[in-house]
Structure 1
């Protein structure tokens, strides 16, 4: 995730998190940054990297969403130029392209999501935008290539944001769109690519043919692949993410450590308990058994429920070993607090039962 901090991904403003949501978030809400820790995009990225070992799929989806935002920004600025009659309007090479721009309507900044979540208006606008980019590519490719050579490419600049400003520093060139499409293809889709993801062969072949043979770079090129990856993450990865982050606050490496410590503590408690009984020690001395029993029961309960109840009650969740973030999603915090109280009740009940049993049982010196 750190590598993405240097990319110009903030072309579209992120929507404000929904603090009134009284349910678990959806995958689309997580990907569109509408959620807060511990179910935010950063936590999902860490989960896909460390637990699922399939972060390349998430990176592919995010890069395709960024490509869509890049295209929307380019077309929005070009349409604005045409509407107000600025010199940039000469980039529109035909009346047909100009008509498509005029009929498209205002392209408001929005999060690029899966096709099944788009409204009818958004789908129509995306289809018209792709049609315009294909028309422009087919009719004006030579002149467009020449004009792009002298323009800055924000895709490789140090800028973190692209805004709606008309200044040259915020202009997206057509070469940037083509470069973005090719980067996605060569990074994720081609056989033997650096971060190749597994997709049905028909999807990979269609995307490769569209970009390499037809010269396309419009967003529709990746629609099928993007939706396939989204559905795969939603089906195979997201339920496990919610179980880990919404029903617990610990990660697998820590859980294994707690299991080991809990078993050692319980072994020590039982050993010490039987030794004290057979040495006929006083009940006051046997009260020291409370310490190992409490540690053992607490750590084993944490392992069983994937939850540290004390940390949950104070509002913290683990995202990497021994690194914690504050639980800021209201519904998740409420849910974890209820589970924490239940786990504490179970822990106290089992701990009290074991301590009372070993403390009150009569001693017999052997």
Structure 2
């Protein structure tokens, strides 16, 4: 699928693993969707603050686009009374931007020239509007209030934030303005919330970024009064590259090549070792007490359980669960595998794991059933 396709619909014909761009753009299905990636960042990477920052910046972009679309719509209906020259200049800006319907699901390096130009024009319009006094000024009390309301870290016991599953329109509809419109104050509050929640030194959910990036953002928001989306471009691109390099490969290994979470794998290795110990102990008892071969066939039970559990741990994959079409989100919490390519990949790996399990299990049973017995 073309990465620049603005459609948010999943690509069911994709014959490859998805990219981080597609996951963040909500173009994938379980178990490699945005919800699964959020849980992985929270529970395995312990760095969900980076993804939350990305999602809040994407929501800020959505607010800006929603605000500009509303202005553009009002300009097309009729220019309001006021400064005629300013209105004409604003009308020219707004009419030249287009519809601004592309998603904010990737870094600036993956955007088309048209999308870059539209976002640059939107940011320029918001900067000019703010400098003309149409925007809200700096409001530390409101900002710190927003910061305090978000003054906590996500833990494995927290429910995932609901906003990242919403569309851009639904995110914009969270505004306090009448009739779900976006006011200029909402954009200012959103920018300040991001600054005070993630970027200032000592923030409760502070993310580690190069000092030059955080200093420039702080200066732009606090001293220059900016709140346009371009303020966060450098930080957004840095966080995207960090997640793509450090977290996303592990996410694909866990969700596209396996279907178990670490807690389940630990439980399986414990169960497998206990079952194998029991199997070997009973096998030697049968041999040294000279039990008949038809009795020794019962060794099939502990050996099968032990080998199956250990192979599941080794490959991070429960083959029966995979063939049934399920993957584990959290411990003992399952979801249907809906991504076609991942389902096909997991089915192939499940058959391979079953073949290995049957081969090892058969070898052990045959060895201990047909070895001559000798009563001690």
- Kindly indicate whether residue 229 of structure 2 is the aligned counterpart of residue 206 of structure 1: no
- Kindly indicate whether residue 104 of structure 2 is the aligned counterpart of residue 106 of structure 1: no
Please list, as runs of the form range in 1=range in 2, the aligned pairs for 1:202-281 lying within 5 A after superposition: 202-281=212-291
> Contact 2:62/2:172 (CA < 8 Å) preserved in 1?
no
Aligned length: 339
Deviations 1:200-240 (A, max 9, x none): 01101010100011010000000000000000000000000
> Cα distance 1:51–1:356, how it changes in 2: closer, same or farther (>3 A)?
same
Please list, as runs of the form range in 1=range in 2, the aligned pairs for 1:68-87 lying within 5 A after superposition: 68-85=61-78, 87=80
Q: For the residues of structure 2 that align with 1:352 and 1:237, how far apart are their CA atoms?
A: 39
Structure 2 equivalent of residue 21 of structure 1? 14
Structure 2 equivalent of residue 9 of structure 1? none
Partner-residue secondary structure (3-state), 1:19: coil
Structure 1 equivalent of residue 180 of structure 2? 170
Segments of 5+ residues of structure 1 without an aligned counterpart are 1-12, 146-155
Structure 2 equivalent of residue 56 of structure 1? 49
Structure 1 position 183, deviation (Å): 0.3
> Cα distance 1:71–1:160, how it changes in 2: closer, same or farther (>3 A)?
closer
Structure 1 position 284, deviation (Å): 1.4
Q: For structure 1, which segment, 168-177 or 92-101, has the greater mean C-alpha deviation from structure 2 after superposition?
A: 92-101
Deviations 1:336-357 (A, max 9, x none): 0000000000000000000010
Structure 2 equivalent of residue 347 of structure 1? 357
Structure 1 position 104, deviation (Å): 1.9
Q: For the residues of structure 2 that align with 1:76 and 1:206, how far apart are their CA atoms?
A: 28
Q: For the residues of structure 2 that align with 1:256 and 1:46, how far apart are their CA atoms?
A: 19
> Contact 2:308/2:357 (CA < 8 Å) preserved in 1?
yes
> Cα distance 1:83–1:126, how it changes in 2: closer, same or farther (>3 A)?
same
Structure 2 equivalent of residue 115 of structure 1? 108
- Kindly indicate whether residue 40 of structure 2 is the aligned counterpart of residue 30 of structure 1: no
> Cα distance 1:90–1:234, how it changes in 2: closer, same or farther (>3 A)?
farther
> Cα distance 1:343–1:219, how it changes in 2: closer, same or farther (>3 A)?
same
> Contact 2:9/2:27 (CA < 8 Å) preserved in 1?
yes
> Contact 1:69/1:112 (CA < 8 Å) preserved in 2?
no
Structure 2 equivalent of residue 3 of structure 1? none
Q: For the residues of structure 2 that align with 1:307 and 1:43, how far apart are their CA atoms?
A: 17
Partner-residue secondary structure (3-state), 1:203: helix
Structure 2 equivalent of residue 130 of structure 1? 123
Superposed CA RMSD: 2.2
Deviations 1:120-177 (A, max 9, x none): 00000000000000000001247x67xxxxxxxxxx9x995647xxx95031000000
Q: 1:334 aligns with which of 319, 340, 344?
A: 344
Q: For the residues of structure 2 that align with 1:280 and 1:74, how far apart are their CA atoms?
A: 84
> Contact 1:278/1:363 (CA < 8 Å) preserved in 2?
yes
Q: For the residues of structure 2 that align with 1:97 and 1:256, how far apart are their CA atoms?
A: 61
Structure 1 equivalent of residue 198 of structure 2? 188
Segments of 5+ residues of structure 2 without an aligned counterpart are 1-5, 138-148, 150-162, 164-168
> Cα distance 1:212–1:162, how it changes in 2: closer, same or farther (>3 A)?
closer
Q: For the residues of structure 1 that align with 2:263 and 2:171, how far apart are their CA atoms?
A: 37
Structure 1 position 14, deviation (Å): 7.1
> Cα distance 1:86–1:109, how it changes in 2: closer, same or farther (>3 A)?
farther
> Contact 1:188/1:194 (CA < 8 Å) preserved in 2?
yes
Structure 2 equivalent of residue 313 of structure 1? 323
Partner-residue secondary structure (3-state), 1:53: coil
Q: For the residues of structure 1 that align with 2:237 and 2:355, how far apart are their CA atoms?
A: 44
TM-score by length of 2: 0.86
Q: 2:293 aligns with which of 254, 278, 283?
A: 283
- Kindly indicate whether residue 287 of structure 2 is the aligned counterpart of residue 294 of structure 1: no
Partner-residue secondary structure (3-state), 1:188: helix
> Contact 2:130/2:226 (CA < 8 Å) preserved in 1?
yes
Q: For the residues of structure 2 that align with 1:264 and 1:222, how far apart are their CA atoms?
A: 53
